[in-house]
């Protein structure tokens, strides 16, 4: 996924910084409160660790970054700016290995992406935004409205199809999702599409039904292409905080999740959860979303995210 047609990097960093404002204010204000005119002692470290846990960075990450800070600066006087910069560097180091753009494999025609997640996480909107990015990059994209239980999801995807000029394969409400996926892949192959993005249902109240449906979708896709789907993308809503960790664990039980997209970072003070996800699961984070428009979803950049999370300039 390139940024062809996107605004310059500075413009995206501004969006990211603005989107992470609630998260960075929570962390930044807390750090200022702890480190104004004082040495880095045990009490300060304990307060910092608690602040990072409250900021949804996770217990393991909080312990790791405070231990590194103690190793290099213990018993020295440190300013809030020094602490924020040091934390940003460490967080960037945690995030770098998972910051990987989603690049369609040209040997697959189409490259099939199954998009999963709970209802309300932003799956359908994310598919539309991804379609926008890939279309700007000159790719031929087909969308499949596989959340056949929600008429609103089908209508929403059809609107994105009109906006982006992408064909949308849809059926009546309640239609068999696996049959729809089969037809969509068949059409995508016939039309030599580069990318097929398949929406899915997200009902977790009955995990067994959802598992059976997703497994059936994968089974029928493999009747046409035994390597499909080539990606299983899990969309997570940042406002759920630590619940995002449970969602990853649950969906990893259902299907072989290959990567993550984290949405709604602008609506939350819990942007730190992305760091906890990287630390715990080490799954690729392909993109992040900080708003409603198509321009508000971009490939994930570790250093830019870490600095924006701590309220630091690019």
Is residue 266 marked as binding?
yes
Is residue 23 marked as binding?
no
Is residue 264 marked as binding?
yes
Is residue 243 marked as binding?
no
Token pair, residue 73, equals 């600066």
Distances in Å between the Cα of 149 and the Cα atoms of 121, 171, 200, 207, 218 are 16, 10, 9, 15, 18
Asked if 232 and 255 touch (Cβ cutoff 8 Å), the reply is: yes
Is residue 176 marked as binding?
no
Burial of residue 250 (CB within 10 Å: 0-12, 13-18, 19+) is: middle
Is residue 117 marked as binding?
yes
Is residue 202 marked as binding?
yes
Is residue 137 marked as binding?
no
Token pair, residue 112, equals 């099939």
Is residue 199 marked as binding?
yes
Is residue 4 marked as binding?
no
Backbone angles phi, psi at 166, to 5 degrees: -100, 135
Is residue 169 marked as binding?
no
CA 161 centroid distance within chain: 22
> Which residues, including other chains, have CB under 8 Å from residue 175's CB and lie 6 or more apart?
148
Q: Which residues pair with 183 in a beta bridge?
A: none
Is residue 298 marked as binding?
no
Is residue 5 marked as binding?
no
Is residue 194 marked as binding?
no
Is residue 252 marked as binding?
no
Q: 229: cis peptide before it, omega within 30°?
A: yes
Is residue 118 marked as binding?
yes
Annotated binding site: 117-124, 199-203, 263-266
Residues annotated within a binding site for GTP: 117-124, 199-203, 263-266
């Amino acid at each position: 996924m390139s940024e062809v047609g996107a605004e310059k990097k500075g413009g995206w960093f501004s969006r990211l910084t603005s989107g992470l404002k609630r998260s960075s204010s929570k962390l930044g204000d807390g750090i200022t409160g702890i480190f104004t005119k004082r040495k880095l002692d045990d009490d300060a470290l304990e307060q910092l660790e608690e602040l990072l846990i409250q900021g949804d960075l996770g217990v393991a990450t909080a312990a790791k970054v405070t231990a590194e800070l103690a190793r290099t600066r213990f018993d020295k006087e440190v300013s809030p700016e020094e602490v924020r910069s040091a934390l940003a560097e460490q967080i960037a180091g945690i995030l770098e290995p998972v910051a990987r753009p989603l690049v369609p494999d040209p040997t697959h025609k189409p490259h099939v992406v199954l998009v999963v997640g709970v209802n309300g996480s932003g799956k359908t909107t994310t598919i539309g935004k991804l379609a926008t990015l890939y279309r700007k990059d000159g790719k031929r994209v087909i969308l499949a409205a596989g959340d056949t239980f929600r008429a609103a999801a089908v209508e929403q995807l059809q609107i994105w199809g009109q906006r982006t000029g992408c064909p949308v394969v849809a059926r009546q409400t309640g239609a068999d999702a696996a049959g729809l996926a089969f037809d969509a892949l068949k059409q995508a192959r016939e039309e030599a599409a580069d990318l097929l993005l398949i929406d899915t249902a997200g009902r977790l109240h009955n995990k067994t039904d959802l598992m059976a449906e997703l497994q059936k979708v994968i089974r029928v896709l493999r009747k046409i292409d035994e390597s499909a789907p080539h990606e299983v993308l899990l969309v997570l809503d940042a406002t759920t905080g630590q619940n995002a960790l449970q969602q990853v664990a649950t969906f990893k039980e259902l299907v072989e999740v290959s990567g993550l997209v984290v949405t709604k970072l602008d609506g939350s003070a819990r942007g730190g959860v992305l760091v906890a996800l990287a630390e715990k699961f080490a799954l690729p984070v392909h993109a992040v979303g900080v708003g409603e428009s198509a321009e508000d979803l971009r490939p994930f950049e570790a250093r830019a995210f870490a600095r924006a999370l701590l309220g630091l300039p690019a």
